[in-house]
Structure 1
Amino acid sequence: MIRPPGRLWRIDHSGYILNDASIDALQSPFAALVQDAVVACTQQISDDIDSIYLTGSVARGMAVPGLSDLNVIVVLHAARDPDLVMRDWVPAAEETLLAAHPVVSEVQIDLWPYYSVFTDPACFSTPGFILKTHSICVWGVDLGSQLPDYKVSPGIANDDLARLEDELAVIHEGLAEPLAEHEVRLWCTHTARTILRAAFGLVQMQAGVHTRDVDLCCEYAIGGLPEHADDLQLALRYADQPVGDVTAVQQLVERVEGWLVDRANDWLDQYNPDRDPDLRVDDVEERE
């Protein structure tokens, strides 16, 4: 099946990014999986959970059976020490859900400390941004109303660009391991998405739009970086049609890594010279 075209997040008349996820958008092929995912989490650590969210294409009603992932975010209670919350059940739960519901290609359950969402109000909160603009609450009390509204700002792209070199190092290490073909395809998808979203981050402020959809990330990145069009189009092809050849994925990284890291460092020199993982809001406002 072919993925539907991506779409931009809507922006209201005041410039705030609106949530692109909706419970009404949840497609019927994924409903049973979502219910089972909630049960899997609450059966294990219900006393530790504040709320559970869906994010990604399933939450936005854009998932493609057999191709899309299920992304579940579990926000822990504020009073819980995240280091004391059991996590060893997560891999088995992910595997069980995937085996029972092959409608998705992967299941990912992430446990987030409450304080990761409600950080220093002077700093941009990537988890807060994701919950506010990318996610739907499927269990517990929705924290969205307690979070600020967000405009297109350097804080969004900073999440992809400030950790780009570390993420590429993880990709290098992962691709160096003995991998089955299906594992190579997962790494291929992850690698291509990482490249395209980082490239989009380089041009997002000039474009004045927000998206995470790789086709639009590629389109806008090529518009701002036309000299790298061939590399970006190859990354898009690998995102849509991941290959099982580890050498091909490594070659993609080698083609892109040099110029992408250099461009990311130029961007960081302008917007985040201290390389803070969470960009200060007052710094953003001064630079806009």
Structure 2
Amino acid sequence: MADERGDDMSGLSQIWPQDPWGRVLNGALDLHTLPPEDLDAAQTAADIALERFGDDLHSVYLSGGMARGVNRDAVFIIILRHLRRAVGLDLFCAAAALRVQKLHGELDSCAVEVFGWDEIFPANGCYSHPRFRLGVNSVAIAGRDLKRLIAPQKLTAAAANAFIVGMNAKLRSLQHRLKAVSTETRVRATSRQFAQTALAGAFACVMENEQVYSEDFATMAKYVGLVLPDVENSLQLLVRLSGTGTTSSLEALAIADDVMSWLPDFAETWLDLNNPERNLTLKLV
């Protein structure tokens, strides 16, 4: 099913809005401006969350490209009231995403993620990546909107670190998966995930210095290219894969091999300067 919104959104700025102090504001649509079919899919996700968690459920949010009306990549973020994470969440998230996508075949991709209260508001003063994501791109679908408690987000090393610190391991895992998968559908999905992970991590390496935020992969590539002009061709291949992927495992592996020749070193250099101990999260100040 073709997405008829592409032309309508072509003029939308791909750089996130910021307040007068340079803090990033929420770039998502308002609830009442979501297309009816997107709202229907989001309400399905909320119903599944309520069915699974009951009174433990605090709120449900739509994120991803669909929250901005730019594509049909949906991410549903579920927040629980209690501090401890429930058992079997990974299985629930996978099953819930499949269920939503089966009921709403117009979605290009669907992911479900669950976080406890302490992961949004950690007591140790560390940066919270789920809180950042809620602050910069989310639409409250059910429950009380936590964004009233979340200030506009600063583009700090702590924010960038969340995209970078585990990136190399993820890329190597996806690279190995490309060598193992055989079906065209899985090759396409894995190559797309590789490209999106690579571009997000590369952009994070320049995000703090540039003081801009975007989730548009072409925009990410543009800013990385300003710092690494020699890898412009590699970046453009990643941009293409991030949108449609490829059904050719040979093509995907060739692009992945090229990216792995420069991106891990770029990320490690950033980590050496900003997170030499390779902590998963950094202090906010």
Instruction: Quote the Cα distance in structure 2 between the aligned partners of 1:165 and 1:87.
Output: 22
Contact in 2 for aligned 1:55/1:134 (Cα 8 Å): yes
TM-score normalised by the chain length of structure 1:
0.89
Q: What is residue 56 of structure 2 aligned with on the other side?
A: 48
Q: Partner of 2:86: helix, strand, or coil?
A: helix
CA RMSD in angstroms, aligned pairs only: 2.0
Instruction: Quote the Cα distance in structure 1 between the aligned partners of 2:131 and 2:46.
Output: 21
Q: What is residue 83 of structure 1 aligned with on the other side?
A: 86
Contact in 2 for aligned 1:30/1:103 (Cα 8 Å): no
Q: What is residue 68 of structure 2 aligned with on the other side?
A: 60
Change over 3 Å in CA distance of 1:89–1:83 after alignment to 2:
closer
Q: What is residue 242 of structure 2 aligned with on the other side?
A: 239
Q: What is residue 14 of structure 2 aligned with on the other side?
A: 7
Q: Partner of 2:110: helix, strand, or coil?
A: strand
Give the superposition deviation at 1:17. Answer: 0.8
Change over 3 Å in CA distance of 1:198–1:92 after alignment to 2:
closer
Instruction: Quote the Cα distance in structure 1 between the aligned partners of 2:126 and 2:170.
Output: 22
Q: What is residue 285 of structure 1 aligned with on the other side?
A: none
Q: What is residue 271 of structure 1 aligned with on the other side?
A: 274
Q: Partner of 2:262: helix, strand, or coil?
A: helix
Give the superposition deviation at 1:49. Answer: 1.2
Instruction: Quote the Cα distance in structure 1 between the aligned partners of 2:89 and 2:235.
Output: 40
Q: Which amino acid aligns with 1:13?
A: P
Instruction: Quote the Cα distance in structure 2 between the aligned partners of 1:10 and 1:253.
Output: 32
Q: What is residue 103 of structure 1 aligned with on the other side?
A: 106
Give the superposition deviation at 1:28. Answer: 2.7
Which one of the candidate residues 136, 140, 155 is aligned to 1:133? 136
Change over 3 Å in CA distance of 1:76–1:252 after alignment to 2:
same
| Identity between Structure 1 and Structure 2 (%) | 25
Change over 3 Å in CA distance of 1:121–1:188 after alignment to 2:
same
Instruction: Quote the Cα distance in structure 1 between the aligned partners of 2:183 and 2:81.
Output: 38
Question: Could you list the per-position Cα deviations for residues 113-137 of structure 1 after superposition, in whole angstroms to 9, with x for gaps in the alignment?
Answer: 2211111453221111111121121
Q: Partner of 2:75: helix, strand, or coil?
A: strand
Contiguous gaps of at least 5 residues in structure 1: 283-288
Instruction: Quote the Cα distance in structure 1 between the aligned partners of 2:218 and 2:66.
Output: 17
Contact in 2 for aligned 1:25/1:60 (Cα 8 Å): no
Contact in 2 for aligned 1:23/1:59 (Cα 8 Å): no
Instruction: Quote the Cα distance in structure 1 between the aligned partners of 2:162 and 2:241.
Output: 22
Instruction: Quote the Cα distance in structure 2 between the aligned partners of 1:215 and 1:172.
Output: 22
Q: Which amino acid aligns with 1:73?
A: I
Question: Could you list the per-position Cα deviations for residues 212-244 of structure 1 after superposition, in whole angstroms to 9, with x for gaps in the alignment?
Answer: 110100111111211110100111111123111
Q: Which amino acid aligns with 2:22?
A: G
Equivalent positions of 1:99-248 (< 5 A) are 99-120=102-123, 122-248=125-251
